[in-house]
A and B are shown apart, each in its own frame.
Chain A
Amino acid sequence: MSAISPLRVRRLLRKELRQMFRDPRMKRIVFIAPVIQLVAFGYAVNTDIRDTKTFVIDHDRSAASRELLEVVEATGYFRIAGRSERPADLVRALDYGKAEVGIEIPAGFSRDLASGRGARLQVILDGTNSNTATVAQGYLTYIVQGFARGRAAAAGALPSGGVDARVRAWYNPDLESRVYNVPGVIGMLILLMSLLLTSMSVVREREMGTLDQLTVSPLSAAELMLGKTLPATLVAFIDLFLVTALAILWFHVPMRGSFLDLLPAALLYILCGLAFGLLISSVSRTQQEAFMTMFLVLLPAIILSGFFYPISSMPEIFQWITVLNPVRHFLEIVRAIFLKGAGIADLWVQYAALTVMATGAMSLAIVRFRRSMAM
């Protein structure tokens, strides 16, 4: 069963590619899926805040309070959606969703500021969207502190006591989520393509009854596996190039490292995807079954990859589980190469992890696949 005839594999590949590109659905999956995912994660899924509706109660009505509000609005993160003197209006604005952030400046704000005793103001956040609230809180704190420092410096007074934290985000100075998300799309797409195309094309043959005919023919299991995984590999690489090009040229994600360092990681990662695709195909009788099994694998793999949710804030047991997740290691490699300019030497841990996983998963897949072919 292990003999491989290069000619037979080539002919099988020709048939696979012919079928793939004759299927209009396939073209959509291969070329449109990356674009949709890029648009979704490049534009729509935005953990940044912009023009957050802000309601202001200014009891002080001084030059200082006006200046502070101008600074807040000038950042672009906040837009003043309403003003009033009555705190009840702020409550109503938050209740009805007219505002997500409320700033209440007490009377005597400018006096306290000038005296150097430290001024206070109240910020009320709509906590129903915890993400926006957290980010808005961070930005507001940062803006107000900067404002206070500026005023103090202008008055020739040094800020009294305490630690003056100056936060600076390295690698992504503006903390744009796009810069973080778009390279992540590469990880998602490659996994999806290698998993989907492999399992679907095998199971489709099983469903149509052609797999049965192939087992009767001299085609070996090894040849069949090559014929099924190589087209998926090709598509995964096409998507890798496509998404990388769009990320750099369209989304202006900085590419500080070398694309060549990314290629071996991509290959190992694709091998993991192909292996899982073969495994799924060996246990599924219909395309529907394969599809559902695929999502059972895909969803946890992505949720536990650090793509959406930081691994460091997961419960410890889940952090350990993520060590076994190839998506996590690949995303770390992709982001480090894009944003930090890291190379293979810096990322050897992740490369080693991917190598071990690709080898293990592939060996298991080959054994299982052979068993599913012969009864």
Chain B
Amino acid sequence: MGPAVSLVGLTRDFAELRAVDELTFDVVPGELFGIVGPDGAGKTTTLRMLAGVLRPTAGDALVAGVSIARNPEGVKHHIAYMSQRFGLYTDLTVRENIEFYADLYQIPRRERPPRLERLYAFSGLGPFEDRLAGQLSGGMKQKLGLCAALIHEPDILLLDEPTFGVDPISRRDLWLIIHEMVASGVTVIVSTAYLDEAERCDRVALFHKGRSEVVERPDVLQQRLHDQVLAVRTDQPRRARDLLRKHPAVRQAILFGDVVHVTLAESAADWPPARDHLTAHEIALLEERPIEPSLEDVFIDLVQGQEAGDA
């Protein structure tokens, strides 16, 4: 079996701007694949091209074996695409919304009850089926969007920042649904700006300025970072960060809450002079411990390495 989705030099320009720049990677069937990057990295543009609603400027992608450049309509039956703000008909009920999508995909009447039952089971929307979609909470709306997108049982599910602006509990629920879809054999490509969500994926592509910097398993990605990271707590976190940033032995200093993540090439050799620099400025060190670098550390490191290369 070939890849579920295969990108070959996929490129899209908007006037002068290159939004997506020669993406090439494969997504394996049944994989939960994350597209991670900041706003404007080209995540939405990529997903819209894969959904067959945006034409590539150059390159191509095969989605379930169908070329999005040559046969974008042919893609539509294989995929479900849920945009950042899934459009629901607020003046139709939960059930009417789902039924309408079933109508669009011409799902036969007799097949609908079991599918609805299944969708209700994992979304918990059953008791609200006669409620107008406009009267649902934000998280429930998002779940309804997912149900509507899934009624035609697609092979590939494209989710564009599904948890954007959703409360933490609904966010967890949504991820449970996504994992359930993956377990039932659906290939899921999900974009997110949250790195903690990226860690839930089988593999992630780190996007920056329309380019995919690296495609890897999240844990491998973290190991790829050879540098060591120290979490340092001080009484003056902001000043400590600024001082550390200017110190020649420190590669990177990022503030997370009141903790500074200090990236060092070699902590045994580089940390003591940096620490002395802080104490010389009368900053009291409360705690320091080595930590596993998070995806965020990797990401910032990658991006800054690239920017340094650009310059």
Q: Which of B64-107 contact A (CB under 8 A)?
A: 73, 76-77, 79-81, 83, 85-92, 96, 100-101, 103-106
Nearest residue, chain A, Cβ from B148: A213
Annotate A19-44 by CB proximity to B: 1 below 8 A, 0 otherwise.
Answer: 10011000000000000000000000
CB of A210 within 8 A of CB of B87, answer: yes
Binds B, one of A79-87, A134-142, A216-224, A281-289: A216-224
Q: Is the CB of A210 within 8 A of B54?
A: no
Does B261 sit at the interface, judged by CB under 8 A?
A: no
Stretch of A4-12, A167-175, A179-187, A297-305 that contacts chain B? A4-12
Residue of A nearest to B55 (CB): A375
Contact surface of A with B, Cβ cutoff 8 Å:
1, 5, 7-8, 11-12, 15, 18-19, 22-23, 205, 208-219, 374-375
Whether B51 is near chain A, meaning CB under 8 Å from some CB there, is yes
Known A205-B87, A212-B87; contact A218-B92, beta-carbon cutoff 8 A: no
**Residue B53 is within 8 A (CB to CB) of chain A in the complex:** yes
Give Cα A375–Cα B52 distance, bound, in whole angstroms.
10
Residue pairs across A and B with Cβ atoms less than 8 A apart, 21 shown, are A8-B106, A11-B103, A12-B103, A12-B104, A22-B91, A208-B88, A209-B87, A212-B87, A213-B81, A213-B83, A213-B86, A213-B101, A213-B148, A213-B149, A214-B104, A216-B76, A216-B79, A218-B104, A218-B106, A375-B53, A375-B54
Smallest Cβ-Cβ distance to A218: which chain B residue? B76
Would you call A218 and B73 a contact (CB within 8 A)? Answer: yes
Do A210 and B96 touch (CB < 8 A)?
no
Known contacts A218-B73, A218-B77: A209-B104 contact under CB 8 Å = no
Query: In the complex, what's the smallest C-beta–C-beta distance from B116 to chain A, in angstroms?
Result: 16
Instruction: Report which of A5, A7, A19, A209 forms a contact with B86, defined as CB distance below 8 A.
Output: A209
The 7 closest A-B pairs by CB, nearest first: A210-B87, A209-B87, A11-B103, A216-B81, A217-B104, A209-B85, A213-B87
Given A15-B92, A212-B83, A215-B53; 7 other pairs, CB 8 A cutoff: A8-B103, A12-B103, A22-B91, A208-B89, A209-B87, A213-B81, A217-B76
Known contacts A7-B106, A18-B92, A375-B55: does B87 contact A217 (CB below 8 Å)? no
B87 touches A211 (CB 8 A): yes
Contact residues in B for A375 (Cβ distance below 8 Å): 53-55
Chain A residues with CB under 8 Å of B79's CB are: 216
Residues of B within 8 A of A215 (CB): 53
| In the complex, residue of chain A having the shortest beta-carbon distance to the beta carbon of B53 | A215
Least Cβ distance of B49 to chain A in Å? 10
- Cross-chain contact A216 with B52 (CB below 8 angstroms): yes
Question: Which among B85, B89, B96, B101 is the interface contact of A217 at CB below 8 angstroms?
Answer: B101
Complex CA gap A12/B105 in Å reads 12
